[in-house]
Amino acid sequence: MTSSWPLDEPPHVLGDWGKVPRSSVWYRWIAAEPGGWFTFDLTSGSTFDSLLAVYTGDRLDRLVPVAGSDNYGSRQSSRVSFQVLAGTNYSVVVDKTSDNFDPNAAYNFKLTWYPTPPPGFTGSQFSPASGIPGAKVTLTGTNFTGATSVLFNGASASFTNAVGNNLDLRVTAVVPPDATSGPITIVTPHGNVTSTTLFQVLSPRLSITLRTTNGIEIAWPATSSVFVLESSQDLSAGSWSSVTEPLLMTNGVTRLGLAMPAGNRFYRLKTQ
């Protein structure tokens, strides 16, 4: 049904409650079995700057917001993806952004809905192409909404989706301490995608401190066994040898204590 802003109609779009309704069109949609993730899309065939909002609830004054979109990426049209529950009634609202509303004009739009496709990478897939553990990496693609895991060659990373227009299109992940070089995978309830480009994990910086007793502590912010600590007396090419003392790995950091070396001693991390 349509509405020219009923008295109790809320401003639309999650996170931006200043979007006052202009001339909305409302749809009632019931999710069929078995439910799952669905996408509602205005990005093809819409001729105006649109808003798209989804609610549950049986009355205007008791609506519960589920999803909302102003612009989708750089487009002025809207698109949302969300998890639906079978048999649940959803209110799907199409509205106009601009203040310049002409009641005699034709504001054409095409609303489509379909099961949310699996995620996919676009462009360079991620940036930068290499980094140390703890570095931030931006992943670009589509259908990232609902992501549950980001894996660096199988190692689980902390991550956040972009906000606003790019919620579905960009994820920022932190290279985990146990990461090794390889592909990056994004896991969602509606499918997974693995990059064809390999991310290169670089050796982090060493931290060397004096201990209260006669010795030193060497530490680095990574726990991957791919990194090997080596030492040398004179930095010549053939003088480096692996340090074999036991390593302590806790809270994303590797540490070891060594006796105070006699004379010069240099240390480095080498990737196996």
Q: Please report, in tens digits, the pLDDT of each residue of the chain (272 residues total).
A: 333 445 566 767 654 444 555 678 889 999 999 999 999 999 998 888 888 999 998 888 788 999 998 889 988 889 999 999 999 999 999 988 765 666 666 678 899 999 999 999 999 999 999 999 999 999 999 999 999 999 999 999 999 999 888 999 999 999 999 999 999 999 999 999 999 999 999 999 999 999 877 899 999 999 999 999 999 999 988 899 999 999 999 999 999 999 888 888 999 999 87
Is there a single domain that holds both residue 159 and residue 193? yes
Nearest to 46 by CA among 108, 114, 112: 108
Q: Look at residue 11 and tell me if it is in a domain.
A: no
Q: What is the pLDDT of residue 101?
A: 60
Domain boundary among 115, 132, 167: 115
Strand, helix or coil at 237?
helix
Is there a single domain that holds both residue 127 and residue 107? no
Q: What is the pLDDT of residue 3?
A: 38
Domain harbouring 69, CATH code = 2.60.120.380
Domain boundary among 82, 98, 115: 115
Q: Look at residue 164 and tell me if it is in a domain.
A: yes
Is there a single domain that holds both residue 217 and residue 231? yes
Q: Look at residue 9 and tell me if it is in a domain.
A: no
Pairing between β-strand 136-142 and β-strand 130-131 as defined by DSSP bridges: unpaired
Q: Look at residue 103 and tell me if it is in a domain.
A: yes
Q: What is the pLDDT of residue 1?
A: 33
Domain boundary among 91, 115, 139: 115
Pairing between β-strand 130-131 and β-strand 200-201 as defined by DSSP bridges: parallel
Burial (CB count <10 Å: 0-12, 13-18, 19+), residue 135: middle
Domain count along the chain: 3
pTM for this model (two decimals): 0.86
Q: Look at residue 132 and tell me if it is in a domain.
A: yes
